Amino acid sequence: MLVIRRRAGESILIGEGIEIQVAEISGGRVKLGIVAPAEVTILRKEVKLTREQNLAAARGISLGQLAELAAQVGRGRGA
């Protein structure tokens, strides 16, 4: 891992087409600005991890289990 210190208003470059700029620092938070080509996907890591977990969970359930769960939810609404 490369660790670089930057102040607000300073930037780092990644390759030829990506610029990360420190827009603001306040308290324990840093606001970043990212300039990148449109074909580069930019995601927060926790969003990617949640998506992967959701996809894994969706693949792990059979149609029978899904139907049983739907029936349980349906019964719960009438109570």
Phi-psi region of 6 (alpha: psi -120 to 50; beta: other; left: phi over 0): beta
Q: Are 22 and 35 in contact (CB under 8 A)?
A: no
- State CA 67 to chain mean position distance: 30
| 6-49 per-position pLDDT tens digit | 999 999 999 999 999 999 999 999 999 999 999 999 999 999 99
| 49-61 per-position pLDDT tens digit | 999 988 888 887 7
Ranges of each domain in the chain: 1-40, 43-79
